[in-house]
Structure 1
Amino acid sequence: MNVQKLIVRTLLKLPDGLLLAMAGGKPLQIDGRTLDVRTQFLAAQGAKAPSLTTLDPVAGRAATAQGLALLDGDRHPNVDVVEMTVPGAEDPLDARLYTPKNAAGPLPGLVFFHFGGCVIGDLDTCDTFCTMLSHIADCVVLSVAYRLAPEHKFPAAADDALAAFRYACANNAALGMTHRIGVGGDSAGGYLSAFVAQETLRADEETPAVQLLIYPVTDMEWQGGSWTSCENVYPLTREVMEWFIAHYLRAPDDARDVRASPLKAGDLEGVAQAIVITSGFDVLRDQGIAYAERLKEAGVKVTYRCYDRLAHAFTAMTGAVPAARRACEEIARDLHSALRG
């Protein structure tokens, strides 16, 4: 553990009252919710750094990776991790395969996509979380690094996500998976997973066994609600989200395409069962809720949870925020149930 990471971990072990005093002295409350004190402390520290919107995407990727490395936990020791590549829509994509140690025979699978607005992030972004999913859900996880914008604009990431899921379905035995394969991700990864669940149904192909949508982007034209009330909440402000969208889309009209905004799809009947997760302090909260409701109205089985005291990107805070780790463990248990349902 490097010195900076050790300092952060030590600070976050301080009593709640002291952390709150260092984070402004008053609990942050929005929409009747109170933010976890450790997340509030991190937000106060994050506010001192330059906004992601002041950086070019390459610099933003490096800065974000450095920051997340201070907060993430350690890989679960009972999971084997293998580096590999999988076919993308155009070129091979870097990927990681997570398999529980001593797995007896093939297991259900999950194709996973990391967060980052389709602009930042890589296989390390959700590395620890993927080991948690693999161990607790007792499944094989294939994490895929899709192409990023602005070098590869919409619909490149969506096309890669679909190609990766198709690859897993066609090569399940080689990956150690049964035919029961889900798709999942957080934020941008949740959006990509919702797209894959819809698109495979539209194309009359093999569809996911479950879609795990963690604080997903579902409508790139969304306005109001948490988009306004949480607009300045760390780490995903509305300004940062708009920066992501501007880099990802070719033009504003792309936001009306169901491949960019799954909530705009007219008919969701028959889409894969869903686990939809939101966080209370998140500009994306209400569009995640809206998608869960649309799925329920279409007769889709939905497990919905909102972690009211947490903020966006908590899947990458398992080493620093105990409440985030507990949430990730609960999500993994939900996945276990869904993959065997």
Structure 2
Amino acid sequence: MSAQQKIVRTLMRLPAPVLRRMSKGAVLNVDGREIDPGIGFLTAQAGKGPAMETLTPAEARQATRDGFAMMNAARSKDAGVTDLTIPGPGGAMAARHYWPTSATPNKALLVYFHMGGCVIGDLDACDSFCSHIAAKTGTGVISVEYRMAPEHVFPAAADDAIAAFRWVRDHSTEFGGTPDMVGVGGDSAGGMLAAIVAQEMKRAGETSPNVQLLIYPWVNMTADGGTMISCGDCAPLNTSTMRWFERLYMPADADKTSPKASPGLVEDLSGLPRALVYTAGFDPLRDQGEAFAKRLEQAGVPVTFREYGDMPHGFTAMGGVSKRAAAVADEIIDDLASAFQAAS
């Protein structure tokens, strides 16, 4: 644990009323929800920095990398890790394989895509979360670093995600898995990519993921009301940053309603794999994640849906400084273990 993490953890043990007084300027109440006091303090500090959309993509990536390094929990000691590359439409993609070293391994695999609006983020952003999935469930995880904007615009990220899933599925036995027990998951933009993969496999008539894990997913690029307004000033993600991601990733003539851009708008959601959908109370994306979960359920897809009303966007990367965020991540991991068991 870094010295900075120790300081933040110490501060977050202060009484809730004190933390709230120290969180001046942050959005602490929205839509009848109240943010966790410690997380509110964190988001208040995040809000003091320059707005992401005022930075260059390179600056935003470094700032995000530094933030995740401070907030993220340590990698699980009960997971083995190997870096590798896998082929993609634009060349080799960096990837990271996690496997359990203490838990009994099973035949399941999870292909995972990190958050970041298709502009920021990397394998380290979800390193802790992926390692804990492997350690606690016995499931192998392949985390994939896809191409990002503005260097690579739509549909580069989607095409990379589809290619990555196909490669892992077709090489699953090399990682101790089987082709029919490969799930797909991600958070934020990564959740969008996971949903796109599940839908594309269905359209292509191929062996599909048996589980889709969608954590505060970005599934509707046309959304402009509801929580896009009420949570518009939340941190660490606000609506202005979402629009910035969209401008960088989507060319002016791109169709935002395309299945590779807005999987939440696809008309026929029947026949898709079991879905685990999670939203955060203080997140512009909350409404669209909940709406997608409801539409999946209406289409006959088995769905587990949870809203963590006291959490912000990005909570899976805050377990190093917030016990509440760590507990939420553990609950999601437990759900994933149950989902793989049910799907098998």
User: Which category describes the TM-score, using the shorter chain as reference length?
Assistant: over 0.9
Paired residue secondary structure (2:178): strand
Kindly provide the amino acid, as one letter, of the partner of residue 119 in structure 1.
V
Counterpart residue number, 1:163: 163
Paired residue secondary structure (1:288): helix
**Is residue 106–residue 178 contact of structure 1 (8 Å, CA) maintained in 2?**
no
Alpha-carbon deviations, 1:107-134, whole Å to 9, x = none?
2010000000000000000100001111
The TM-score, its normalising length taken from structure 1, stands at: 0.97
Counterpart residue number, 2:327: 326
Alpha-carbon deviations, 1:54-111, whole Å to 9, x = none?
1010110001110111111111111001111111122111110000005656520100
**Is residue 80–residue 98 contact of structure 2 (8 Å, CA) maintained in 1?**
yes
Instruction: Write out aligned runs for 1:163-312 (5 A).
Output: 163-179=163-179, 180-251=181-252, 253-312=254-313
CA distance in 1, matches of 2:253, 2:23: 37
C-alpha spacing 1:256/1:19, structure 2 compared with 1 (3 Å):
same
Alpha-carbon deviations, 1:294-329, whole Å to 9, x = none?
101111110000001001000000011111111110
CA distance in 2, matches of 1:230, 1:183: 28
Counterpart residue number, 2:82: 82
Paired residue secondary structure (1:256): coil
Paired residue secondary structure (1:216): coil
Unaligned runs of 5+ in 2: none
Paired residue secondary structure (1:212): strand
Unaligned runs of 5+ in 1: none
Paired residue secondary structure (2:108): strand
Paired residue secondary structure (2:93): strand
What's the offset of the Cα at 1:27? 8.1
C-alpha spacing 1:99/1:174, structure 2 compared with 1 (3 Å):
same
C-alpha spacing 1:12/1:102, structure 2 compared with 1 (3 Å):
closer
Paired residue secondary structure (2:197): helix
- Bigger mean CA offset, 13-22 vs 75-84: 13-22
Kindly provide the amino acid, as one letter, of the partner of residue 297 in structure 1.
Q
Kindly provide the amino acid, as one letter, of the partner of residue 156 in structure 1.
A
**Is residue 74–residue 319 contact of structure 1 (8 Å, CA) maintained in 2?**
yes
Counterpart residue number, 2:153: 153
**Is residue 8–residue 70 contact of structure 1 (8 Å, CA) maintained in 2?**
no
Kindly provide the amino acid, as one letter, of the partner of residue 85 in structure 1.
T
CA distance in 1, matches of 2:321, 2:303: 30
What's the offset of the Cα at 1:11? 1.7
Paired residue secondary structure (1:110): strand
CA distance in 1, matches of 2:15, 2:84: 43
Kindly provide the amino acid, as one letter, of the partner of residue 202 in structure 1.
R
Paired residue secondary structure (1:10): helix
Kindly provide the amino acid, as one letter, of the partner of residue 337 in structure 1.
S
Pairwise CA RMSD:
1.5
Kindly provide the amino acid, as one letter, of the partner of residue 52 in structure 2.
L
Kindly provide the amino acid, as one letter, of the partner of residue 127 in structure 1.
D
Counterpart residue number, 1:35: 35
CA distance in 2, matches of 1:247, 1:177: 37
**Is residue 27–residue 34 contact of structure 1 (8 Å, CA) maintained in 2?**
no
**Is residue 112–residue 141 contact of structure 2 (8 Å, CA) maintained in 1?**
yes
- Bigger mean CA offset, 239-248 vs 169-178: 169-178
Kindly provide the amino acid, as one letter, of the partner of residue 96 in structure 2.
R
**Is residue 231–residue 238 contact of structure 2 (8 Å, CA) maintained in 1?**
yes
Aligned length: 341
Q: Between the two proteins, what is the percent identity of the paired residues?
A: 47
Counterpart residue number, 1:144: 144
Instruction: Write out aligned runs for 1:77-156 (5 A).
Output: 77-101=77-101, 107-156=107-156
Counterpart residue number, 1:317: 318
Write out the 4+ residue segments of structure 1 that deviate beyond 4 Å after TM superposition. 102-106
Alpha-carbon deviations, 1:134-162, whole Å to 9, x = none?
12222000000001111000100000000
Counterpart residue number, 1:22: 22
CA distance in 1, matches of 2:278, 2:117: 17
Counterpart residue number, 2:66: 66
C-alpha spacing 1:105/1:317, structure 2 compared with 1 (3 Å):
closer
